[in-house]
Structure 1
């Protein structure tokens, strides 16, 4: 009986993810609602809420978003600032942009300007938190540590989100390694970060 329940759960999640991709591709993220997605997937809204808290939770749990965050997760700012080759991007950042390029059909919709502001803020928070945790770990006693964490996370997340979004808006005309090189330089020369790491 438990096996049947697991199979039903897997089937429901697959239907939901397929419906998600279909709506993002053909209608855009602005039309992504629980009602539309449930109708597209052929399930009721109660089934959706058995698996996800809301639409944002669904997107954050997709294999594509988890894959991107898994790339950002191990990035240590201390290592980035020790990256001495000025002509090449930090490897993990380059990997992240290659990943974005490879799954462009999904991320183009996710980073589209028409995305609800709530979702944009959550993405910014997710990205900013990754850098903030690294900064806090590497420099727990730095002068920024007595500043409200929310503001630092907002600063770090907004910059990265904006750069990625602009890359998609402009049709990804710059190669992944070139935009990764740009982000590497921006982070290394950030007034919020560079003083702490240049002292190391």
Structure 2
């Protein structure tokens, strides 16, 4: 790939991502589709599909979404469960909510109740899969092959997604520190998989 080609690729991606953000801010997620994005960006559909599989892939590849994942992905569930202070949130969770607050216009649209069902499902899977992998790392002695993986991922993803969505629905009625503390406590204390897995001899959910 030549330098000129590289520059064209970068330019096209920037135009498309900016068009996505403009539509989310000014029209809302209901009006987000490939046709509107390409028209706003001034590129053809072929150029769009050269860089992205679909509109959901575009959202996942935006700088803002990657920034959030850069915060969430390194979080280790076992470290969260061992967080020593019951009155303070797990720092990475606070960082994630502060990040979403700084980029409120983007994440409010993404987590809006009118968002496409497929987008919601993909975000649920993204969050749930990450937590599931951490559970497997924290409990390597468990027989994970005997567990209904898709149900575990759905449960873990829905809990986090629902709380974040409600936070935006109520216009961030709780500050990042408080909502982060709430989520920290829920993950640590709700009778969930970790409590069950910690009991010797219990290998089924």
- TM-score under structure 1 normalisation? 0.95
1:81 is aligned to 2:81: yes
- Please name the residue that 1:140 is paired with: 140
- Please name the residue that 2:130 is paired with: 130
CA distance in 1, matches of 2:95, 2:196: 25
CA distance in 2, matches of 1:148, 1:70: 28
Tell me by how many angstroms 1:83 deviates: 0.5
Flag structure 1 segments of 5+ consecutive residues without an equivalent.
none
SS of equivalent to 2:141: coil
- Please name the residue that 2:96 is paired with: 96
CA distance in 2, matches of 1:182, 1:194: 18
- Please name the residue that 1:172 is paired with: 172
CA distance in 2, matches of 1:145, 1:77: 20
Deviates more, 1:184-193 or 1:17-26: 184-193
Tell me by how many angstroms 1:199 deviates: 6.0
CA distance in 2, matches of 1:122, 1:99: 20
Change (3 A) 1:67 1:197: farther
Change (3 A) 1:144 1:196: farther
Post-superposition CA distance 1:12-33 (Å, at most 9, x none): 0110011001100111111110
Post-superposition CA distance 1:127-161 (Å, at most 9, x none): 11111100011102236662111110100000000
Flag structure 2 segments of 5+ consecutive residues without an equivalent.
201-205
Change (3 A) 1:88 1:199: farther
- TM-score under structure 2 normalisation? 0.93
Contact 1:136 1:145 (C-alpha < 8 Å) held by counterparts:
no
CA distance in 1, matches of 2:194, 2:136: 14
- Please name the residue that 1:108 is paired with: 108
How many correspondences in the alignment? 200
CA distance in 1, matches of 2:124, 2:5: 36
Q: CA RMSD in A?
A: 1.6
Change (3 A) 1:101 1:145: farther
